[in-house]
Each structure stands twice: as C-alpha cells, then as structure tokens.
Amino acid sequence: MKPIPAWLKGKIGQNKAAFHSASAQWAQQEMQQQGLHTVCHEARCPNRGECFNCGDATFMVLGNRCTRGCRFCAVTKQKPLPPDPQEPLRIAQEIKTWGIRYAVLTMPTRDDLPDGGAAHFARVIKEIHTLTPIVKTEPLISDFGGNENALQTILNSRPTVLAHNIETVKELYSQVRIGAVYERSLQLLKRSKELAPSIPTKTGFMVGLGESEEQIYSLLKDLRTAEVDLLTIGQYLAPSKHHYEVRSYPEPADYQRWEKLALSLGFKAVASGPLVRSSYRAGALYAKAVFEGENNK
C-alpha cells in the first residue's frame, strides 16, 4: 500500500488526538447509549475527533449495514436489520441534546427495502423539524436504485440541502463503486433540481484512486450540467489493506487548483482539501453558498 506522506500523516494524527478529549468521549458514549450510529465512526472518518470535540456528528439513518459492495468504504456489508421505528425520534432528540443547528444525515444503501428506506429517512427529517424547527437538515442519500418516487419522498420533507455523492470519476465506477451507476447518480442530482429547484444540491468525490486530470475535469462538467450547487473534494484513505488501494496523494496546491476550476464552472461553493469529507463543516459551506448568492443578486 502506498505510504501516506508525512505532511498528511501529521494532519491525521492531530485529528485523532482530538478524539481523546472529554467532549469527544462524551459524544461517543452518548451515541452508544442511545443505540445510534454515525458515519464518522462507521466509515472511520479522519475528522471524527475534531468533529466530536466540537459537538458535531453525521448521524447514520437506517442502521450501519450496507447492501452494496463499494471497495473504498468501511461500512459493514452484512444483511441489514429492519428499520427501527423509534430511530427518527431518537435522532431528533439527540440533535436537540447536542445543540446541533445544521444536521447532516446519511444512510447505508438499503436495496433490501422497496423504497430504499426513503420513507423512514423522511420521518427523521420531519421529526427534527418538529422537535427543533431552527435546525437545518442535509440528507446525504443513496441513489435509491433510481426510484424517483423515493427521491420525491425525501424532497417532500423539505430538507435544506439534498446531497448525494458521486464519489469518483466515471471511468473508475466498475472498479470502485460496485452496484452503483455513474449515470444514475447524475440523474438523481439532476432530477432533484428539477423537482425542487429551491433546494440546493450537493455532491462530493474522492481523489487518489487513479483518476486523471482530464477525468476530473469531465466529472466537474457533468456535475455542472446536472446543476449541482455545492461540491466537496477530498483524499481517499483506504480503511484497510483489503480495501481499494490508494494510487496517489495529491498536494495541497492541487486541491486549490481544483477548487478554482470548480468555481469557474459555476459551483456556488466548494470545499477542497485532503481531509475534506462530504459532511465536514457542511453548515459553513452552505452558508458560504447563500452569502455568495446574495452578493451576486
């Protein structure tokens, strides 16, 4: 496996150290006691310590077992459990307890459910809005197998932002995203904008998987054709030696170049950096897009 460069290893180490703080440990214990999951833990996010220490987390709806076999992801691939009818209220209560004002919610792919879990996910959003109306919500959803009714169900719950990650360039889908389809993910983002023009769309992708500059540029153009508003770009870090191998570690200057390129193509806000993840400081990215939008009127 390609060794992590010293400059990046140092950044990861700082974030891991933050996980041992009192506030981060409280957050971890609170989640365990409530029987809830975070993608921070399940996907072994390098920012987990920093976010938990700041009283933030990305809640994982519909359990922690995925029906897909993506080779980059650390989320458990096992037969999923039935949706927990009490989970929506527990998540809403936990968000209120933490004092979260911008809630990012994600999910494993649930191909075992007729609607992919959309109705259950929408209940979570509605419970949050009912319990703490001030909270903004950003559901990071699966592709629902291309089920447009499922997408509409999520949009009907009136999230602040609709997110779905493209993850990688088209040419690597067959190697990296087992069970996913590039065109299907693009179509979901495009249809979300058509069905609910007032709800911003967001996506994210990883670098370091073997993609070329030309492929990244093509991906950015495809995303803008689908009218995606918000974008994140981050370094792929293999969760273990059994996952897809890291092929490269781009330098900080590369991320700055991609951010400028994406903004020049029309994205409203972009977060680009080695440890950027789709949910990392999501509220700040949304606020930046709103601010830029107001200034451009």
The full DSSP string for 6-72 is HHHHHHHHHHHHHTTSHHHHHHHHHHHHHT-EEHHHHTT-TTHHHHHHTT--EEE-S-SB-SS--TT
Q: What's the predicted TM-score (pTM) here?
A: 0.91
Residue 50: predicted pLDDT: 58
The pLDDT confidence band at residue 75, using thresholds 50, 70 and 90, is confident
- Comparing 26-40, 111-125, 181-195, 275-289, the range with the smallest average pLDDT is 26-40
Q: What is the pLDDT of residues 16-56, one digit of tens each?
A: 665 566 666 666 676 676 666 665 555 566 656 555 655 56
Q: How confident is the model at residue 296, as a pLDDT? A: 63
Q: What is the pLDDT of residue 146?
A: 96
Q: Which CATH class is domain 6-295?
A: alpha beta
How far apart are the C-alpha atoms of 270 and 255, rounded to whole Å? 10
Q: What is the mean pLDDT of the chain?
A: 88
pLDDT digits (tens, 9 = 90+) for 202-241: 999 999 999 999 999 999 999 999 999 999 999 999 888 8
Residue 82 pLDDT > 70: yes
Q: How many CB atoms lie within 10 A of CB 4?
A: 17
> Residue 55: what pLDDT?
56
Residue 3's pLDDT is what?
A: 84
pLDDT of 77 reads 80
Instruction: Give the integer Cα–Cα distance in Å for 135 and 91.
Output: 13
pLDDT (mean) for 159-171: 97
pLDDT at 295: 60
